[in-house]
Every structure is written in C-alpha cells, then in structure tokens.
Structure 1
Amino acid sequence: MTDLLEIRNLKIGATSYPPGEPPREVTLVHGVSLTLAKGRVMGLIGESGAGKSTIGLAAMAYGRGGAQITGGEVLLNGTDILQSGPAGLRALRGKRVTYVAQSAAAAFNPSRRLMKQVIETTLAAGVPSAEAEARAVALFAKLGLPNPETIGRRYPHQVSGGQLQRVMTAMALCPGPELVVFDEPTTALDVTTQIDVLAAIKEAIRDTGVAALYISHDLAVVAQVADEIMVLRNGRMVECGPTSQIIHAPQQDYTRDLVSVRQKDHPAKPPGTTALLSIRGVSARYPGVPVDVLKGITLDLAPGQTLAVVGESGSGKSTLARAITGLLPPSQGEILFDGRALTPKLAGRNQDDLRELQMIYQMADTAMNPRQTVGTIIGRPLQFYFGLRGAQKRKRILELLEEIELGAGFADRYPAELSGGQKQRVCIARALAAKPRLILCDEVTSALDPLVADGILKLLLDLQREEGVAYLFITHDLATVRAIADRIAVMYRGKVVRSGPKAEVLAPPFDDYTDLLLSSAPEMRQGWLEEVIAHRKMAAGGN
C-alpha cells in the first residue's frame, strides 16, 4: 500500500518569552516520523503539550502561535510540501489537505449561511457552484444531518453543537481532499452527541476513502476511528502501532497508564443515615423563560459522600448547581442544608451558609483573576471568612498548597505560569480555604487530559477522606463517575429519571434514556462503535 503522507524526522520549535527573562528557543516536537496510507486513519494521542495538534498542523505545513518547522520533511504523495512556497501552499490548504477544528462555533462566520461557508473552498478549487452544492447536500445526508436539502440555508446559531460539528466535517470533505486533520472534533460535545458525531465521521471516512489524522486526548474515542495510534509525550513519540496492540498490549508505561485510567472504579462508601443536602421538589426557570428548566428535583447527599449528577448538555445539571448556590432561586420547593432551609437567593444567605457550600468551576482559566498571584487567590477566603492576615494567612496558604500537592513555590506564581491541572488544583485549594462541608464540582475534569484528570480525582478523594467534605459532582463522563461516585442521579430535560447507589444505577434494567447514556460512553475496544450504530438502527426500525 502506497503511503499518502510521510513525515520524516519532524522538528518544530518556538520562541518563549518568560516574564523577566530574555527570550529563549524551545523545541516543541523532537524528530517525530510517521507514515499514513490512503483510506487509513492514524490517531495522535497524548496530554496537553504533547505535540498532537502541532504535528497535525505540520501536515498542512502550518505552525500556529509562533511555532516554526525547523527540520524534517512532510511528504504528500512523495512531494515535500515544506518546499512548496506560498502559491503551492495556497493550492494545498483547504483543497488537498483540510482541517476540522475542536470548536465548530468558532470556525463559522455567524453572519453567513452554512452552505456558502461549506462550499467556499470547493468553489475556489474551480468546481461549479451547482456541483459544489450537490456535493455538500450529499455529504449532509451521509453525515446524518436533518433535512440535508435545506439545512445549508440556516445560520450557524440555528443548528445544535453536534450538527454544527458535522457541518464542519462536510466542509472539510466537500473539496475532495486527500487528507483530513481532525483536531479534537468531539471533545466539547456531551456523550450522546459525541457518539453521533463519531459515527458520522467514521462512516464518512470509510465511504470517501480519505486518509485522516485524528487528534484526541481520549484513548477510548481514538480507538473507535483509528487503524493505528501514535502516543506522544513532550513532543516525542512514546509508542506507535496498530490500535489493537496499543489498547491490549501496550509496550510503554505511559501508554499503560493511559489505558488503565479509563478502567478505574472507586468502591462506593456505605449510604449515610442523615442528609447534609436535601433537595425537595425544586423547580426553577430563568428570567424571561416561560417554562421550568428544573422540574420537581428531589435528591439527598450524605456527609462525606459523592453524588454524581450525569446527563447530556441541556439536561439541567449546571442549572441545579446554580439553584443550590442561590444564583437561580427556585420557583418551587426548598433546599435544606444540614436540616436548615437555605434562603433561595444568594444575597440573603449568611456567612456560614456561604462558607460551608463552595463551588469549583469547569474552566479554571476564567475562574481566577490573571493579575493576582496564587497566594492572593487562595488567601482571599481566608481573610473574608476567618479574618486571617499577614504571617498567619501566609502560613495557611502554604499548608493548602501542600494539601493540593503543589508546594510553597507556587504561592508567588500567576495563573498564566500554571498548567491546566495546576490551575484546577489552585481552584480546589481556594474552595478548601473556606473549610466547606459541601463542594459543587461542575465538570472540573472535562477540560483536562486523562492522566491530569486522574490526578485531580485522586486529590479530591484524598481530601474527602481527610476532611470529610461531600461532593456534588456534575459530569457527562461515565468513566469519571465510576472513578469517584458513591451515588448517581441521571438527569434528562430538567428531571431526575434515575437515582440511587452507583452499583444500582449502573446495573440493568435501565430506562430508555439511562440505557442510551450508558451505551454512549466509549469503550476501549475496536468494533464497539459499529455495534452501537447497528443497535441504534435496529431500535429505530432501520435495516
């Protein structure tokens, strides 16, 4: 089989500008090589900073964020595209090699209809307008989009996130490329939508015969679409081989760690006899919205336990957290904390209520002031709730940094100097500074790489054992649920459709939605996605 893409000894560098120091050159990719045949898919997997996207973009002879290709060759059908020059690259990008980004919403112009954007590069390649539109409609149908003949007339905001991701895939396939680079195309999607998009991508790749690089940090997702997998770390190849080998017989410790993370199961603690948090018949709606977003929610959480709230986007998970914190006062029902009714509005709660109930957000980047040091960020609740100042406050800040396994040296750093996992640990320390009894964790690991997320989950479990804190853990990732939860509540369209101890909720018989949710969590084996597709077709009465 002839190789379509061959990357030889690729080296990529950039200039770093450390605060208060002279600029220095850093190496992002250290001599990576790979080959990819027509019709085949190679998965590139690894943590943030591993070089996945940098290598994927190099397949288009492109370096973003100041990155420069400093050595090696990138051969497409035997021709080194690094030597193509500006005119050659214009003829290559968007036509022979195309790109599907992680965030479809950011990739589209909100003021232009979808069809015009999908066929733009196809028209630039000299294809007549009628033929380009016919190609687009055929791809819309192949990718399972509703009303393929007319969906192109809509604007980006008039379709869902999963639909927009499939439209972007159609845009990449429309020019008839030889190679498509998929850069984390399902990371921002909830679990049920993710499977729909994965299935559409896999079928489109198979039917068009295009070659693809599929970039992700989730090995279970990559296993569904890739023929081969390259594992990367710190810009170097750790391991490369057929998907079955990487999953079932990994050769390197780092790869074995990636595989084992998806298989961890936290033994649930015995049920508590009293409730720390009691939610009784709570309904809530947003101002100006005529219908309830939460509909009669009733749940209990015992001290020192973890309740995982799971469901797809729009099910009401984060809205429930807003109601508990008082940011969205319930229209009906009540919320009890340690037996006392919480005032519905945040502004009416006393200092103890505020202190004992803390929240950690999904995006640590936006949850911290970039102009404040880590010490200032962690120290604010110490001063607000306990009046600590000076040396006493500094001593407690350093103790909290030790608890989250960062150390005293981080106190004077700024958020921009931290990794994603380190930022989330600082947010955990800030919550712990208030000595809370309950922490609401809203998708706190969904933006993190598997091994970093695993470290955060271990930290939370250790802190729970030491401090006795309870967690209400909002997530759409079933692997995370197995790793941390004692109890589970499944939400769908503002209602709790199933709840109870973890072992009971994860065991059949299931209601239809819980069955769909559990069956949509990618498994680490090839052939699983095809089974899901076939099962769904049968359930829908298809052939």
Structure 2
Amino acid sequence: MKPLVQVEGLRVVARNDAGTEFPIVKGVDFAINEGEVLALIGESGSGKTTIALSLMGYARSGCRIAGGSVRIGEQQVLELDDAGLSGLRGRTVAYIAQSAASSFNPSRTLMDQVVESAAIHHTLSRARAEAKAVELFRALALPDPEHIGARYPHQVSGGQLQRVMAAMAFITDPALVILDEPTTALDVTTQIEVLRAFRNVVRQLGTTAVYVSHDLAVVAQMADRIVVLRDGEIRENGETAQVLGAPAHDYTRCLLAAAEPAERDIAIAAPAPLRMPVPLLRIRGLYAGYGAIGRDGLPAKRILTDIDLTIERGATVGVIGESGSGKTTLARVVAGMVPSARGQVLLDDAPLPDGSHGRTREQHQRVQFVFQNADTALNPAHSIGAILARPLSFYLHLRGDARRKRVLQLLDLVKLPASIADRLPGELSGGQKQRINLARALAAGPDLILCDEITSALDTVVAAAILDLMAELRRELKVSYMFISHDINTVRAICDEIVVLYAGQKVESRPRAAMGDAPFHPYTHLLVSSVPKLKMGWLDTVCARATAHPPALAPAPQASDAGLCGFLPRCGVRVDGLCNRLPPPRQQLPNGGEILCHHTPAALIPLQAPLQRFEEVA
C-alpha cells in the first residue's frame, strides 16, 4: 500500500549571526500510512518541530528547507508556490500548537475562529461549519457543546482551549494533522482529559497524524509508530511496542531511562534534613488572595486558606496540585511578592514582613525564587555574566576580579562552561537557561530556594539533569527547596515531603517514606491515577479508574466558603448530608501524613485498593 505521507532526504539549515548556514535536519526519511499516528520524539533541539513544520512546507525564521522531498497524497509539498501552500495549510495539513492560549484571537468568539478555516478554504457554508463544530465539540468532550462556541478564549480553561484548537484543526477534514506537544503545559488530570479526547477523535475519524512530544508515556498512548530523533538525525524508527519494549539504539534507551526519574538514586545522594529545634521556614494559618478586603479581613478573591507548612534546613518540600490550586501564590507570599491577608510566614522563627518593601536585604537574600519560564526571567539584552554579577554586587558587594571569579564558579556549579558568561540568553538552550536561572538564585547564597515549575517546559533528559543538579547542590550547599510542580513523578523523585493543594486548601501532606502507601486524599488519589504510565494501552485500562469521579457541575466553592471541602463537586466518594454540610476534619495517617477528609484512613483504603502501591500508576 502506498503511504499517505512520504518524506525523503529532508534537509533543513539555519543561519547564525555571522550569516553561516549549518544543518539542523540532516537527510531524514520516513513514511506514514493512512490512518496511522506517527510520533516524533527526542530532546529539545533534536529537530522534532522543524520536521513537523516542514510537512506544511514551512521553515521558521532564520531557517530554510534546503533539500529533499515531502509528498502528501499526490502533492509534492516542497514544489508548491505560495498560493499552493496557502491551499495546503489548514486544508490538507492542519496544525495543533503547544500553546493554545497564544494561538487564539482574544477579541473573537471561539466559534468564529473554529469555522474560519472552513470559510477560507470554501469547504462548508457557515451554517454547516457551525453544526460540524458542535459535533466536534461533543466528540472532544467539551462542556455545553451547543453554546461553548459563543465564549471567548479567556472564558474557558487551558485544557478546554486546547480541545477547541483541535476542533479548529479537524473542521476541514484534513488528510494530515500535526499535534505539536499539545499537552506539555497541562497538569496531569487535564492532560488525561485532553489525551483521551484527542485519541478518540483520531480513531473515530481515521485521521493520519504526526504527534510531536518528548514525553514517552504520552506517546505510548497515542502512536502506532515512533521516530526517535537526535541532532536532526533519525536514531530509530519502529513500531511503538518495539521501540518501547526492545529499543535498538542506545539513545532510545537513554530516553526511556530518563522518562522515569531515578528516585532511589537521588534519594541516596541527597542528605537527610537537619532536624533543628527551630525549622528554617514555618507557615501558620496563611490566607492570601486578591481584591478588596471584606469585613472578615480576607480578600474578595481567596487563593489560599489556612495553610500550615514547615521546611526543615536542608529539606525539599514538594507542593503539587492542578493549575489554579494556589501553588505559585504560596511561593510568592513566601518570597514577599504577594502579601498575606492573615497568618504568619516565619524564617528561623522570626516573622517575615508582608510584601517585599517591608523586608530587609538580608531577608530577600535568604529566600530566592527560580521562575518557571527562564525565557522571560532572563533579560535578553544582558550577557549571562552580567545577569549573574547583579546579585553578587547587590547582596555580597563583590566587584571586579572577585565578582568575575565568582561568576565562573557559579557556572561551574551548575555544570556550564566558562564561555557561557559572554553569551546572551537567546543563544542558550532551554536547559542551559534554566541552569542560569538556578545559578542566579544561588549567587545570593540563599538558605531557601523557591522553584516554580522549573522543569515543566523541559524534555525528560534535560529535566532529569536539572533534578540531579538540584540534589547535588542540596548535598554540597545544604540549601533547602520548596519545589512547586503539577508533576507528581518529578516531585516524588527529589522531595522529602509532599504537600497537596486543591482550591487553595492543603488537602494532604505525607513524608517521603510513605509516598507509596494508601490511603490518599481522594484528590491525591485522582492525581496519582492520572499520571501516564510508560505502557501501551494504559489510557484504555486506567483512564476509567482515573476519571471515575463525577465532573464538577458547578465551580468548586472557595475553600473558605462555610469551610467545606473544595474538592466536593468532583469527589467520587463524597457523603451527601455530611461532606456538603460540615467542614472536613484534618486526620492523621498511620504513616505520619495527614488528610483533610471526612473519611477515616481505614475507610479510604478499600476504596483506593487498586492504587495501594504508588509505583503501579506512576
């Protein structure tokens, strides 16, 4: 059978600042049969997205397609003129981008944007396009499919917007759909919903697709075949079962190893926390939010409610939860970026003033923040040396040769060469920029580093290297971390304790030694069961269990409203007449943790029997 897509000898080159061209895709060959899903995987810079974009005859700024051929059906893509490419894109080949939020026009309704491609390519009338859009909304499991199209992009969640983008791609019945890291930025429970919706639509429509990802566990659920890329070359090309079960190339084996954090190795490498009479950080009864302050002394929009948390010297505490759970707000309160409304944040048992203006230089120095997006956290106009020199001057008053020497020491500390000091952030890879982000925090000589989703945008190999580096720095510098993430696999790899937030409430905490033992809070149980496993068919066998909780039919109440559980509308084990009337008690677990739940630990264990061992689902 003749394949639908045939790529032969594809070469793409890029141009550096000196005007010299160099290859970034080097003679790539592969084919895709009709109805097949092909995954392109590899580290950042491997050429995944560059190859995917070439299937539309497109090269990003500074790059050009230098040779080879791309055939889709009977069309030779690289031979098309501008008019031909305009007819191809959105009609024969559709593209689903990684960030839906940046791909939509905020001033137009979702329906207007979904049906636009059908109007451009004259495939359907407006009425028929809208009817088909509603069918796609329903197939993609979007809420209120008949009316969601009347909303604007900011009026739906990130996961919903990602599915609306899929409807936009499928509206013209394209021959090929490219999905470029469509779930990378989503938390695990949302990712499951989106993955299931994408997979079901691809199956129903018999779509031929290219799935670009660095997440092998996700690829295992979506792809029929996998192409493994490194440095613009194919290292392996085979059926998914073969690549995952019996990889032929050393690099594939490296990717598979990096897909599962080396939990035990990191745990052995990291020192035990120092149990002192006074902990490094203690948070007591913390409330925080935004908006006008009410009569109760609390803000109109409450983000955090009655949070207690302790970080010992030399410890790493992980804070996990879905988007909007309050994780970043908690870190920003600790850093002084957001004021608290009630409660205390104590450093060495001394209260930290609210907001940055009330804090001393020493207090700022001792608590440093590493932001999620290194691209926006680093000034693009300053050299790496200048970026690292700033905190050295401000906090440590270093000048001249002493400052330059310390900059080089910091680069060595984060495993980067001295030559990096003279380069700009735009000349570095994502992993290198995140190391600089970390080095800048270390430059102040802090006791506590607040890490906000610092590995979420990195591929598995680079993320694993960052986690190893953090463990090494913890061992050598005795630094403590608050590690914020929505990825429970990452958190369990490096943390001594996990704190779970939902709707601004602390619903669970547990020590590292008990991370694999039931019972869990029902929300933690959902998180754990939603982590994709590196196993084909996992989505089919586990998804029903992970999504057994009924969907929220109304917005989750603020955690402080009558003191009720914020997870109540989604909880599959709620007790009507109890959970919807009385605040849940905080119950101690036999393993040293605690949960905020009406159910006793003994009652939860049989309800969660399928997930009694953490390793079965992580």
What TM-score results when the alignment is normalised by the length of structure 1? 0.96
Structure 1 partner of 2:591: none
Q: Is the 8 A contact 1:262 1:479 kept in 2?
A: no
The Cα offsets for residues 253-287 of structure 1, whole Å up to 9 and x where unpaired, read as 21111111122213276564332111111011123
User: How far does residue 223 in structure 1 lie from its aligned partner after superposition?
Assistant: 1.4
Q: Per-residue deviation at 1:503?
A: 3.4
**Secondary structure in 2 aligned to 1:10?**
strand
Residue 96 of structure 1 aligns to which amino acid in structure 2?
T
Instruction: Report if aligned partners of 1:12, 1:30 keep a CA contact under 8 Å in 2.
Output: yes
SS at match of 2:291: coil
Q: 1:358 to 1:95 in 2, by over 3 A?
A: same
- Residue in structure 2 matched with residue 192 of structure 1 by the alignment: 189
CA contact (8 A) 1:499 1:505 kept: no
Q: 1:420 aligns with which of 430, 453, 458?
A: 430
Secondary structure class of the residue paired with 1:334: strand
Change (3 A) 1:96 1:407: closer
* 2:184 aligned counterpart, secondary structure: coil
Match of 1:456 in 2: 466
Structure 1 residue aligned with 2:215:
218
Q: Tell me, in whole angstroms, the C-alpha distance in 2 between the residues paired with 1:240 and 1:164.
A: 32
For residues 320 and 548 of structure 2, the distance between their equivalents in structure 1, rounded to whole angstroms, comes to 26
* Cα deviations by residue, 1:426-475 (Å, 9 ceiling, x for unpaired): 12121111111111111111111211111111111111000100000001
Provide the rounded CA distance (Å) in 2 between the counterparts of 1:363 and 1:477: 16
- Does 2:279 align with 1:295? no
The answer as to whether partners of 1:40 and 1:227 remain within 8 angstroms in 2 is yes
Alignment pair present for 1:36 and 2:32? yes
Hey, what does 2:267 align to over in structure 1? 267
**1:51 Cα deviation (Å)?**
1.0
Take 1:217 and 1:235, find their aligned partners in 2: how far apart are those partners? 14
Kept in 2, the 8 Å contact 1:285–1:294? The answer is: yes
After TM superposition, the structure 1 = structure 2 runs for residues 407-486 of structure 1, keeping only pairs within 5 Å, are 407-486=417-496
Q: Indicate yes or no: 2:389 matched with 1:379.
A: yes
The aligned residue for residue 169 of structure 2 is: 172
Deviations 1:372-393 (A, max 9, x none): 2222211222222222111122
Letter in 2 for 1:26: F
Q: What is the SS of the residue equivalent to 2:5?
A: strand
Between 1:123-132 and 1:349-358, the stretch displaced more is 123-132
- Secondary structure of the 1:479 match is helix
2: CA distance, partners of 1:29 / 1:96:
23
Alpha-carbon offset, residue 537 of structure 1: 6.1
CA distance in 1, matches of 2:325, 2:133: 32
- Mapped contact 1:95–1:125 kept (Cα < 8 A): no
The percent of aligned pairs where both chains have the same amino acid is: 50
Q: For structure 1, which segment, 75-84 or 261-270, has the greater mean C-alpha deviation from structure 2 after superposition?
A: 261-270
SS at match of 1:23: coil
CA offsets 1:94-148 (integer angstroms, 9 cap, x no match): 1121111111112111111111211112233332222211111111000000111
Comparing 84-93 with 320-329, which one deviates more in the overlay? 84-93
- The CA distance in 1 between the partners of 2:387 and 2:102, in whole Å, is 30
Bigger relative contact order (CA 8 A; separation at least 6) = 1
Per the TM alignment, residue 326 of structure 1 is displaced from its structure 2 partner at its CA by: 1.4
How far off its partner does 1:63 sit? 1.5
Q: Which amino acid aligns with 1:277?
A: L
Q: Deviations over 1:379-410 (max 9, x none)?
A: 22222222211112222222222111113222
Question: What does the per-residue CA deviation read over 1:494-519, in whole Å, with 9 as the maximum and x for residues that have no partner?
Answer: 01111021232442222211011111
What's the counterpart of residue 254 of structure 1? Answer: 251
Which letter does structure 2 place at the counterpart of 1:92? L
For the 8 Å contact 2:526–2:546, the answer to whether it is kept is no
SS at match of 1:315: coil
For 1:103, the equivalent position in structure 2 comes to 99
Q: Report what 1:117 is aligned to.
A: 113
Aligned to 1:330: 340
SS at match of 1:188: coil
Q: Which runs of 5+ in 1 are unaligned?
A: none
**Aligned partner of 2:66 among 61, 64, 70:** 70
Contact 1:125 1:175 in 2 (8 A): no
Distance 2:8 2:129 in 1: 35
1:283 matched to 2:269: no
Q: Report the residue type matching 2:90 in the other structure.
A: G
| d(CA) in 1 for partners of 2:378, 2:81 | 43
Match of 1:127 in 2: 124
RMSD, aligned CA: 1.7
CA distance in 1, matches of 2:474, 2:272: 14
Correspondence 1:232 to 2:229? yes
Task: Give 1:224's aligned amino acid.
Answer: Q
Distance 1:14 1:426 in 2: 25
Q: Distance in 2 between matches of 1:291 and 1:181?
A: 39
Paired positions, count: 538
Q: Secondary structure at the match of 1:119?
A: helix
Scaled by the length of structure 2, what TM-score is found?
Answer: 0.84
Contact 1:281-1:333 at 8 Å conserved across structures: yes
Q: Does 1:339 align with 2:349?
A: yes
Change (3 A) 1:75 1:93: same
* Partner Cα distance (1:122, 1:386) in 2: 61
C-alpha distance 394-148 of structure 1, shift in aligned 2 (>3 A): same
Residue of structure 1 in register with 2:611 after alignment: none
